[in-house]
Amino acid sequence: MRALFQHSVRLPSWLLVLGGLTTLVPLEALARGGGGEHYTRDSPSYGNGDGDAGLIYLFFRLITFAFRYPKVGIPLLILAVVIYYFYKRNLHPTGATQRAFERREAEQRTQVSDQSVLGWVQSLKRKDPQFEAQGVLDKVRQLFPALQEAWFQRELTPVRPFLSDATYQRFNVQLQLMAAQGVRDAISDIRLLDARIIGLEQSEWFDSLQVRVQAQMRDTDVPASASDAQALEAARRAPLESFTEVWTFVRKPGAVTRIGQDVYQGKCPQCGAPYKGGASNVCEYCQAIVNSGNYDWTLSEITQGIEHNRHAAPVDGLGEARRADPALNLEVLEDRASLLFWKWIDAQSQGDEKRLAQVANTELVSQLGTELSTMRQQGQRRVILECAVGAVVTRTLEVHPEGDDRAHVEIRWSARLGMAAANERPRELPTVPQRWVFTLTRRHGVKTNTSNGMATDRCPECNAPLTSSGASACAYCGTQLGTSARDWVLATTLPYETWEAQTRYRRVPGAQAPVASPARATDTVVDVQERERLLYMMASIAAADGTVDATERKLLKVCATRWSIPWQNVEMALNAGQPLFQKLMPTKGSPEASVFMDHLVQMALVDGRVDMKERRMLVSTAMHLGVLPQLESMLRK
């Protein structure tokens, strides 16, 4: 808004003088006749730097002038409206404009040269002479509509052989969340516009092929009870939207293309026998796990184009961990972490901590059980709607020869979160971006089971599929699960600031407070989702004491404007109150409060400066967090 106001004062001085002529018509009449009801009236003073109130005042005067001198005043008024419209549109993009920006960013993130694609194809052909890029793209063109149809029908069995365990779990839990909400997804006019190879990562254990999928469809929600015909009718009334995704397919090195002999042709990719499907995804003739990636390309991840990162960052501790377990690879580890994330979401949504019993340690299951039990006693339940994952990235690996090795995996996700009474539909909730770190533990010396490939939802003893029955033992062989003795299990789930505070600070014996460690300082990811996440947390922090005064609200609105975050979403975060951010709120004066404040300063400094209004917002937040003395040093970094 500052830029808009500064531009307005560049209008010719004679226009401003005319705009200041006497008003003969009451303001209420002008508001109705001149469209004043469309303006925001948060700021009562003229020329305050926010600009809205000053512009309202100027428009009122222009309208008055137009009544008195229509030949001059009406053209001037039209000109002012046109200028305001174009500047307002640029400063406050509409949803359609914002989506256009995101589509453009997705295209830029996924652009590669033809020469690069040719190099990747040749690299694969050297190991697999039958490999052809067109063959993989044809599989994408076959899988894309099949996956959309399975999603629409709410029945994933037809596509399960093509998906890794974690990808299947993701879709399955999302369908359950929608069912709990009482809705189903209605889609129509599905069209795959383009499929193109945009990346290849090769390791000793997997080849990971990235394919950009550009498509369009109509998409809306309808009641879960709606028939297919009713859902299609509703979808056809929705706007046609384009989107870009990156599909990652993995295959073990040494596997070769078998033309006409794969699950796309209804055959086992290992022995070529007819494959009839089934819950275990195992060929009844040769016992091959068909979605393991050991024999053919398996879809292991779908990333939104706007989240795609072409170059993976190095992982601290990976080399040391591989010395103890040479087969350790990030593809399987991150697929396992994604699987555990969706089981964690499922357990909370279902209100049953035992659904985690086979993949999480007893401490975490017990802790979640206590939280869910407390909510039930209070007649409350946790609401998780429209959950989606943006990225799963391994941050660090820790090797502990005398105990459990630890893998810290960051998961960026979003959902509409809140609390509701047991039999009550949830009120309107904002979609909140999240950054969490899941810590997985495994007994030092345990080796990665290379024979299972991407099949990460199996008993490490008998290889049978895991269940969500609530039993902590394998339903087939009775092996005790949920321990680190044989596979990676979930040990802790922490908001990003809490995890980074534990990593950045270390406890010194005898010290009253943590001491900063120079060993690690994690960079803040600067993007739309991260700005939105930090701003929502700022709003929640401001509302934590039960009141948000006019000054805080005004400063939050300034930040929302400058960071291109819809203000109505921030208002929902303010109104949702503490339950929205139960685990995310840093304790006053804590290390995580310092980390959050540091991230916030980095975000404000992204354009190289912090102006007076942003500084006032930072000061207000630092006071709430009890870290005001540290603010100046953060600003000087």
Strands in 570-613 per DSSP E: none
Which residues are 303's β-sheet partners?
246
Look at residue 529 in the predicted model and tell me its pLDDT.
73
How does pLDDT run across 395-426, given as a tens digit for each residue? 999 999 999 999 999 998 888 877 777 667 66
Q: What is the 3-state secondary structure (H, E, C) of 264-326?
A: HHCECCCCCCECCCCCCCECCCCCCECCCCCCCCEEEEEEEHHHCCCCCCCCECHHHHHHHCC
Q: For residues 253 and 531, what is the distance between their CA atoms, to the nearest angstrom?
A: 40
Buried b / exposed e over 100-124, threshold 16 CB at 10 Å, is eebbebbeebbeeeeeebeebbeeb
Taking the CA of residue 339 as centre, how many other CA atoms within 13 Å lie in the half-sphere pointing to its CB?
Answer: 29
The two structure tokens encoding residue 283: 């060929």
Domain 99-311 has CATH 3.10.450.240: yes
Number of H helices, E strands in the chain: 20, 10
Are 338 and 172 a contacting pair, CB within 8 Å?
Answer: no
Return the higher-pLDDT residue of 576 and 562. Answer: 562
Which residues are 431's β-sheet partners?
416
Find, among 116, 167, 61, the residue nearest to 388 by Cα.
167
Q: In this prediction, what percent of the chain has a pLDDT beyond 90?
A: 36
What lies within 8 Å, CB to CB, of 81 at 6+ separation is: none
Q: For residues 42 and 548, what is the distance between their CA atoms, to the nearest angstrom?
A: 14
| SS3 of residue 240 by DSSP | strand
DSSP conformation letters of 486-530: TS-EEEEEEEHHHHHHHHHEE--TT-SS-EE-TT--PPPP-SHHH
Radius of gyration of the chain (CA): 28
Please tell me what DSSP assigns to residue 262.
S
Q: Does the fold of domain 313-516 match that of domain 99-311?
A: yes
Q: Residue 436: in which H helix or E strand, if any?
A: strand 431-443
Q: What is the 3-state secondary structure (H, E, C) of 72-87?
A: HHHHHHHHHHHHHHHH
Return the higher-pLDDT residue of 37 and 392. Answer: 392
Q: For residues 518 and 151, what is the distance between their CA atoms, to the nearest angstrom?
A: 48
CA angle 206-211-217, nearest 5°?
Answer: 140
**Residue 225: CB atoms within 10 Å:** 9
How does pLDDT run across 76-119, given as a tens digit for each residue? 777 777 666 555 544 444 455 556 656 677 777 888 899 999 99
Rounded alpha-carbon distances, angstroms, from residue 568 to 557, 558, 574, 579, 595:
10, 13, 10, 18, 27
Strands in 122-239 per DSSP E: 183-202, 207-223
| SS3 of residue 332 by DSSP | helix
How does pLDDT run across 481-527, given as a tens digit for each residue? 999 999 999 999 998 888 988 887 644 344 333 334 433 334 445 56
List the single range of 48-62, 114-128, 577-591 with lowest mean pLDDT: 48-62
Please tell me what DSSP assigns to residue 22.
P
Find, among 106, 433, 416, 143, the residue nearest to 241 by Cα.
106
Which residues are 330's β-sheet partners?
none
89 class by beta-carbon count within 10 Å (0-12 exposed, 13-18 middle, 19+ buried):
exposed
pTM of the prediction? 0.73
What lies within 8 Å, CB to CB, of 580 at 6+ separation is: 417, 418, 429, 430, 432, 536, 540, 573
Look at residue 51 in the predicted model and tell me its pLDDT.
42
Residue the block writes with tokens 């690069």: 116
Q: What is the 3-state secondary structure (H, E, C) of 246-260?
A: EEEEEECCCCCCCCC
Residue the block writes with tokens 């979401």: 345
Packing angle, helices 228-235 and 133-153, rounded to 10 = 110
Find, among 598, 582, 587, the residue nearest to 631 by Cα.
598
Pairing of strands 207-223, 404-421: unpaired
Judged against a pLDDT cut of 70, whether residue 532 lies above it is answered with yes
Classify domain 313-516 at the CATH topology level.
Nuclear Transport Factor 2; Chain: A, (3.10.450)
Q: First-to-last CA distance in the chain? A: 28
How does pLDDT run across 293-309, given as a tens digit for each residue? 999 999 998 887 877 77
Look at residue 566 in the predicted model and tell me its pLDDT.
79
Q: For residues 426 and 382, what is the distance between their CA atoms, to the nearest angstrom?
A: 10
Residue the block writes with tokens 């990808």: 167
| SS3 of residue 469 by DSSP | coil
What lies within 8 Å, CB to CB, of 208 at 6+ separation is: 199, 200, 201, 202, 248, 249, 250, 300, 331
User: Phi first, then psi: what are they for 263, rounded to 5°?
Assistant: -70, -20
How does pLDDT run across 321-367, given as a tens digit for each residue? 999 999 999 989 999 999 999 999 999 988 899 999 999 999 999 99
CA 491 distance to own-chain centroid: 22
Look at residue 19 in the predicted model and tell me its pLDDT.
35
Q: pLDDT band for position 428 (50/70/90)?
A: low
Q: What integer is the mean pLDDT of 194-210?
A: 92
For the chain, domain boundaries: 2-91, 99-311, 313-516, 523-635
605 class by beta-carbon count within 10 Å (0-12 exposed, 13-18 middle, 19+ buried):
middle
| Average pLDDT taken over every residue of the chain | 79
Buried b / exposed e over 448-479, threshold 16 CB at 10 Å, is bbeebbbbbbbbbeebebbbbeeebebeeeeb
Return the higher-pLDDT residue of 3 and 534. Answer: 534
Pairing of strands 404-421, 298-304: unpaired
Q: What integer is the mean pLDDT of 379-387?
A: 83
Look at residue 297 in the predicted model and tell me its pLDDT.
95
| % helix, strand, coil for the chain, step of 5 | 45, 20, 35
The two structure tokens encoding residue 414: 């979003």
